[in-house]
Structure 1
Amino acid sequence: MKSIVFTGGGSAGHVTPNLALIARLKEQGWSVDYIGSADGIEKSIIEETGIRFHPISSGKLRRYFDLKNIKDPFKVLKGVADAYRVIRKLKPNAVFSKGGFVSVPVVVAGWMNRVPVIIHESDMTPGLANKLSVPFAARVCVTFPETARHLRGGKAEYTGLPIRDEMLRGNPAKGRDICNFHKQKPVLFVMGGSLGSRVINEAVRGGLERLLERFQVVHLCGKGNLDPALTRVRGYRQFEYVSGELPDLLAMADVVVSRSGSTSIFEFLSLKKPMLLVPLTRNASRGDQILNAESFRAQGYSEVMEEESMNAETLAEALFQLYADRDVYVERMSRHSNQDSIASIIRLIEATAR
């Protein structure tokens, strides 16, 4: 039996594409293990699936000054040792990394064990973790064709982003049952990333009365961000985070407002959901979400609103216009080439595995 080790974490966007590949590989008889951080979001997501999870030490890789930068390199080194022992014991045919700071020790440990490593970059430009990982990788899968020019060595392979099969099988009737919604009013789906977004949450709740005149609203607000005062508001449902319910909630949605992490926006694209994207600012990120959002706007898949210009009024106006023009966005998204990214990446894994 062929075996593979997956890694990736720090946010749901670094985990869910792995789940899409894992499901297909298990169908083909592969044995799968997952290495991640002991306290990261990946641990709970992976353990829910029954996949063997191996926790390691991990330190965050920061581009800014922080006193934690002094001790975190030692955590990374310990993570390399932890991952080295796990990989040496498992003897996998390949290691697949989706990125995030926890992935670097695993990639290095795979290389040290002479196991072929394949990494995947979701964003337009490589993140710091993947930049550090590229020299140790045999191949690099990219979501945007433009990303290849940022990678040296001829390792880049345009595969697109793997989308979980279950995301395409959502049931809108189940979504309405979960939220106690009806069919007579359209649904607005709000998501600020797996950790939530204070700015989006405040703008939605500040304009909720006006939004509810046009929409029913399902709001994924992030851990610890529920507002008890809004629990009984008719036509509004809030969740900290959802997993198995997500396909059904998205299936019933008519328009979406979201951050512009690549995993989420490509899922919206595959489902043909008109989007209003609110990327993280350059002060809060390396600017990858801005590039992702502008690429989708240029292709006619979304509108973009800068965080600095968003408030309850501007958000409501933009969403009303997006809904009015929804058929135009759906038609453009229908022309998108939906290559089978899962099949492309698995062919690459099979060709690269020792």
Structure 2
Amino acid sequence: MKVAVTGGGSGGHIFPALAVARRLIELGHEVSYVGAEGGMETRLVPEAGVPFHALPAGKYNRNTLQPREAWKALRGLVSARALLRRLRPRVVLSTGGFAGFPLAFAAENAGVPVVLLEQNAALGLANRWLAPRARRIALAMDVSLPRKLAFKALVTGMPVREERREARAAKQALGFDPDRPLLLVMGGSQGSLALNRALPDLLEPHLEGWQVLHQTGERGLEAVRARVAGLAGYRAEAFVDAVTAWSAADAAVTRAGATTLAEAAYHGVPLLAVPLPADVDGGAQEQNARFYATREAALAADQEKPGELAAQLERLLEDAELRAHLRAHLAELSPAGATERLAHLLLEVAE
């Protein structure tokens, strides 16, 4: 069966789409991945061995009219119609974002069934536009939708790499003491300037009891390494192997991207979520953090409130009972099996 998978622009759109694409290929189906020209997916998808096609895709800016982006979006829609005729998929999966819109929109207009994956606690802009005519909506989180959409929604969870390592072995592989707790600081695939600046000072008083693995992103590595050079047990790396790092971690401080939260839930790592400001991502991470916090699966703090960030961090590190409580509720949100569920939903819709 021919299946098209589309989405890109960020790891949160690309990695779940790739996970489903690989699973469908394992099941013997013909999968094509469609992304945006110049996006991260142009490198990541071919590296994963999945056939890739690029389309022009204009970014929508909520605050400014950008004629060049509008022209790219129009070109993308025209190109998507031609590509759809070439690929002839029985079903299309879109993981959202501007990169996933052109092919999904063309498919809906051509009568090809579309399944949307919404990773966040509320529908993103592209998915809101596509949802009325989508065949099904797969949800990473159990969130409520308007009645006119709720009947086509299914909670599948967020596809993540379903691999774990034994905790002590993972700590040793990373070069840490297996007998001491490890805090993972992760600011997303490119790091977080705010976390890079704030965390070394806040964590220094806790280093007698804790070790720290801080993923800074490439741009932040030099500054953080200079700041923590004299701190025993505090190590900064531009990138980390996610499976090993999550397996080793006893707690985490992270952004509130959907993939990051799903990985924490899968690995059972209690965390403090520090979402991006709403003016950066339209409030998606704030809503994700609120979703996990209201279900007592994470603590949350505003990066613009240093006192709140420091207080929540101290609670996470000093209260073992709280960490156990968060871990128990994370288990209720674990996305284990999400890739399989989403792959079979696509095949069900196609048939």
> Given the two structures, how large is their TM-score scaled by the length of structure 2?
0.89
Match of 1:205 among 196, 200, 220: 200
Q: How many Å apart are 1:40 and its aligned residue?
A: 1.6
2:182 to 172, 182, 187: 187
Quick check: 1:90 aligned with 2:87? yes
The farther-off stretch of 246-255 and 51-60 is 51-60
Q: Distance in 2 between matches of 1:61 and 1:336?
A: 31
Distance 1:200 1:337 in 2: 25
Assess, with a 3 A threshold, how the Cα gap between structure 1 residues 320 and 179 changes in structure 2: closer, same or farther: same
- The Cα of 1:232 is off from its aligned counterpart by 5.7
1:172-183 aligned within 5 A: 172=167, 175-183=170-178
1:264 matched to 2:260: yes
Amino acid at match of 1:202: R
Q: Give me the whole-angstrom Cα distance separating, in 2, the residues matched to 1:87 and 1:237.
A: 47
For structure 2, list consecutive stretches of 5 or more residues without a partner in the other structure.
none
State the alpha-carbon separation in 1 of the partners of residues 332 and 132 from structure 2.
36
When residues 174 and 323 of structure 1 are mapped into structure 2, their CA distance, relative to the original with a 3 A threshold, is same
Aligned counterpart, 1:293:
289
After superposition, the C-alpha distances for 1:44-87 in whole angstroms (9 at most, x for unaligned) are 22222111111221111121125xx2221110111122322322
TM superposition shift of 1:264: 1.4
1:160 aligns with 2:157: yes
Q: Residue type of the partner of 1:37? A: A
Kindly report the root-mean-square deviation, in angstroms, between the aligned alpha carbons of the 2 structures: 2.5
Query: Percent identity, aligned pairs only?
Result: 31
2:127 aligned with 1:130, yes or no? Answer: yes
Q: Which moved more, 1:5-14 or 1:131-140?
A: 131-140
For 2:43 and 2:312, locate their aligned partners in 1 and report how far apart those are by CA, in whole Å: 33
Equivalent residue letter for 2:90: N
1:283 alignment partner, SS class: helix
Q: Which sits farther off after the overlay, 84-93 or 169-178?
A: 169-178
Q: Distance in 1 between matches of 2:272 and 2:215?
A: 15
Residue number in structure 2 paired with 1:25: 24
Q: Aligned partners of 1:240 and 1:38: how far apart in 2?
A: 26
Instruction: Determine if the alignment matches structure 1 residue 330 to structure 2 residue 345.
Output: no
Aligned residues of 2:200 and 2:228 also touching (Cα < 8 A)? no
Partner of 1:77: 74
Return the offset for 1:170.
3.2
Give the match for residue 38 of structure 1: 37
Match of residue 347 from structure 2:
350
SS across alignment from 1:284:
helix
Number of aligned pairs? 347
Output the TM-score relative to the length of structure 1. Answer: 0.88
CA distance, structure 2, for counterparts of residue 203 and residue 177 of structure 1: 27
Matches within 5 A, 1:238-253: 238-242=236-240, 245-253=241-249
Distance 1:335 1:224, change over 3 A: closer
Deviations 1:86-139 (A, max 9, x none): 222121221101011111111112234432211111112111111122244222
CA distance 1:118–1:207, shift in 2 (3 Å): same
Q: Deviations over 1:155-203 (max 9, x none)?
A: 322322223323xx33545643453212132111111122321111111
User: Deviation at 1:144?
Assistant: 2.9
Deviation at 1:34, TM superposition (A): 0.8
Answer yes or no: is 1:144 the counterpart of 2:141: yes
Matched, 1:276 2:275: no
2:190 counterpart SS class = coil
**Using a 3 Å threshold, how does the CA distance of structure 1 residues 336 and 199 change in structure 2: closer, same or farther?**
closer
Deviation at 1:335, TM superposition (A): 4.6
**Distance in 2, Cα, partners of 1:180 & 1:42:** 31
Contact (CA 8 Å) 2:256, 2:288: kept in 1 or not? yes
User: Relative to structure 2, which stretch is displaced further, 51-60 or 282-291?
Assistant: 282-291
- Compared CA separation, residues 268 and 291, structure 1 to 2 (3 A): same
3-state DSSP of counterpart to 2:121: coil
Tell me the amino acid that sits aligned with residue 85 of structure 1: A
Residue 7 of structure 2: aligned partner = 8
How far off is 1:276 after superposition?
Answer: 0.4
2:305 aligned with 1:309, yes or no? yes
Compared CA separation, residues 148 and 187, structure 1 to 2 (3 A): same
Identify if the C-alpha distance between structure 1 residues 217 and 93 changes in structure 2 by more than 3 Å, giving closer, same or farther: same
Matched position secondary structure for 2:93:
strand
CA distance in 2, matches of 1:303, 1:350: 37
Partner-residue secondary structure (3-state), 1:196: coil
Show CA shifts across 1:227-248 (max 9, x none): 2526866433333334xx2101
Structure 2 CA distance for partners of 1:281 and 1:337, relative to 1, 3 Å: closer
Distance in 2 separating the partners of 1:286 and 1:22: 28
SS of the residue 1:74 aligns to: helix
